[in-house]
Amino acid sequence: MSGIEQVLVVERSVLDNVGSFQGISLTVDHYLDAFFTPGTLRFMPRDQAEQDPTHKQIIPYVLITDGDRFVTYVRGKRAGEQRLVGYRSLGIGGHINPADDLPLFSADYREAYRAAVEREVAEEVVVNGTHTDRIVALLNDDSTEVGSVHLGVVHYWRVPELDVRKREQMITQLSPMTGAELVAVRDTFETWSQLCLDHLEALARTTGSRLSSGV
């Protein structure tokens, strides 16, 4: 049992009760207050979660920008989600595991989630310098097999300089791109990134969730 990956999930019914949506939602506190109520989140074996649309795997999706350019990369063959291999992405992050010590029944679970996001990003890339962190959107795409079992939490990391290098082997072709450059190759991006691209200006303007204060 110790070799089975456990991932953080929320029941689909919780999303439905708050108000299910297709695509992107900028009303983040409305949903996060429900998801992060102690006892709502739990861990599930990943192989089970990937086949169970009655639960949504919580995926931090971190956009890293200096205000003019964004970090992008192509998911290589070593990516954990094989269905996304070959697509370009704006989001850094991944599943949250029990090793992240998320205290689901404790009063400080929100802070623990933020710490888990920091660790997830650090496993994939090296971000030199300081950054601020805001949760600016949620992503839900029930139109695809991958999307039906995942829920994205979009973090907006603002850095003074876009000094980022890869650490994880699944990240290939890491490069900064301007908004205009991103739009020009929109069709090469995975669905969640396309949704973010379509709302980049709004994401930059939003003040973000109180779940994620400045780091």
> pLDDT digit string (tens) for 17-53?
999 999 999 999 989 999 988 889 889 999 999 999 9
**What does the pLDDT read at residue 39?**
85
Q: Which domains does the chain have, with CATH numbers?
A: 6-205 (3.90.79.10)
| Lowest mean pLDDT across 82-86, 199-203, 204-208 | 82-86
For the stretch 107-143, pLDDT in tens is: 556 777 888 899 899 999 999 999 999 999 999 999 9
Angle at CA of residue 189, ends 194 and 22, nearest 5°: 35
Nearest to 194 by CA among 207, 177, 182, 206: 182
Q: Which pLDDT does position 214 carry in this prediction?
A: 43
User: pLDDT by residue (tens digit) across 86-106?
Assistant: 789 999 988 888 865 555 555
Predicted confidence band of residue 83 (pLDDT cuts 50, 70, 90): low
> What is the sign, positive or negative, of the torsion defined by CA atoms of 143, 26, 74, 151?
negative
Burial readout 104-136 (b: 16 or more C-beta within 10 A, e: otherwise): beeeebbebbbebbbebbeebbebeeebebbbb
The closest alpha carbon to 13, from 52, 59, 45, 60, belongs to: 52
Model pLDDT for residues 155-185, shown as the tens digit of each residue: 999 999 999 999 888 899 999 999 999 999 9
Is 210 or 180 the better-scoring residue by pLDDT? 180
Cα pseudo-dihedral 73, 129, 183, 91, rounded to 10: 50
d(CA 91, CA 48): 24
Per the model's pLDDT, the better-predicted residue between 76 and 203 turns out to be 203
Which pLDDT value is given to residue 215? Answer: 39
Phi, psi for 86 (deg, rounded to 5): 95, -15
Distance (Å, whole) CA 116 – CA 197: 25
What pLDDT is stored for residue 57 in this prediction? 96
pLDDT at 101: 57
State the chain's mean pLDDT as an integer: 87
Share of the chain above pLDDT 70, in %: 87
Chain centroid, CA 81 distance in Å: 13
What global pTM score does this model have? Answer: 0.89
**In this predicted structure, what is the pLDDT of residue 52?**
96
